[in-house]
Chains A and B, each alone.
Chain A
Amino acid sequence: MTSWSTKITKWVIGEIVSIQDSVRARAIVLEKFIAIAQHLERMNNYNGIMEILAAFQSSAVHRLKKSMQAVGNKYLKVLDELMKLTSRELNYKNLRTKVHAANPPVIPFPGVYLGDLVFLDTGNAMHVNNDKSMINFQKFQKLASYILELMVYQQTPYSFAPVPEIQAFLRGVPVMDDDAAYGLSLICEPRQAVARGVSTVGTLKS
């Protein structure tokens, strides 16, 4: 699932930076992905939202300021709300609240749970005494609660009708490596000098 998410993120980056026609044409693709992310939120697919937002936060896309300025206000508002929802602030507090309030079916963002499980596992001893005759019950009770939560989400499937053509399209999306994507991003919007008098060698990578 992790490699799939990486693939989708790279595909989104590739789709955006491949549009070399005009800033507006790129903005339309950005709007398209914001609209997809909005639908994913309505479908409680939080993993999918993270895939698209990870692309928007990548170095190749994040630096495309002119393209983002050409995105419509209603899309920027949606993007801002999704960014707030998925913010890492307070250990994904907003995302956790939203997921817990959602009615299944739900696809949670596994990164949150994996982080919790690793933290619980590494931060708490397996046993409560030196001779290891008693396990740390609280630790395992907490671990089980996280695992059971994920298992509950695995019990309620979506009732959408599959469209094999689109699924085949998504399975076969082209993936662009980071350097190639950044190279195309530079063609989309070339670097600019930070200030007058600063040589092009001294420009900063945004």
Chain B
Amino acid sequence: MGMDKIDKFYNLVQSKLGGEASPSTSDDLDVGDMKLLDFEPAEIARQLTLLEYEMFTAVKVSSYSPLSSFPHPPHDFVFLSSQPSFWTRPG
């Protein structure tokens, strides 16, 4: 999704200013010759963790609740303010 935005941005710049847009940064990263043994295990673990944390935070865990399929709370259903509201979908 992020890459789509970047591509759109480059297209916009190109159409407004003319000329050739530079390729986006990630295209410049030549990883073709890189091998597993080129990296320290700790660095691989760190970068893998950063990527996976990004994916983990993108998961909307509230969507796992069966209540998420309810369009509306029952009309006579009232929670006390001190209790967590299962009808709220954070994020």
Contacts and interface: CB of A to CB of B under 8 A. Distances in A.
B65 A166 contact: no
Contacts of A107: 49, 52-53, 56
B81 interface: no
Interface in A146-172: 147-148, 150-151, 153-154, 157-158, 160, 162-172
B50 A48 contact: no
Contacts of A189: none
A170 B50 CA distance: 11
A176 interface: no
B22 interface: no
Nearest to B36: A15
Given A1-B59, A114-B64, A121-B66, A166 B43 contact: yes
A139 to B, nearest CB: 9
Interface string B18-45: 0000000110010100101101011111
B86 interface: yes
Nearest to A173: B36
A169 B48 CA distance: 10
Given A4-B52, A162-B47, A163-B47, A32 B37 contact: yes
A172 B61 contact: no
Interface residues of B, number: 38
A1 B43 contact: no
A70 interface: no
B84 interface: yes
A110 B48 CA distance: 16
A168 B13 CA distance: 25
A104 to B, nearest CB: 11
Contact of B46 (A1, A110, A121, A160): A160
Contacts of A163: 43, 46-47
B62 interface: yes
Interface string B47-87: 11111110111110110111100000010010000001010
Given A45-B48, A147-B65, 5 more contacts: A1-B59, A29-B37, A113-B64, A151-B90, A164-B29
Interface of A: 1, 4, 8, 15, 28-29, 32, 35-36, 38-40, 42-43, 45, 47-48, 105, 107, 110, 113-114, 117, 121, 126, 135, 140, 143-144, 147-148, 150-151, 153-154, 157-158, 160, 162-172
22 contacts: A1-B56, A1-B58, A8-B48, A15-B36, A28-B37, A39-B45, A105-B53, A114-B64, A117-B64, A121-B66, A135-B77, A144-B84, A147-B64, A157-B53, A158-B50, A158-B53, A164-B25, A167-B47, A168-B26, A169-B34, A170-B48, A172-B31
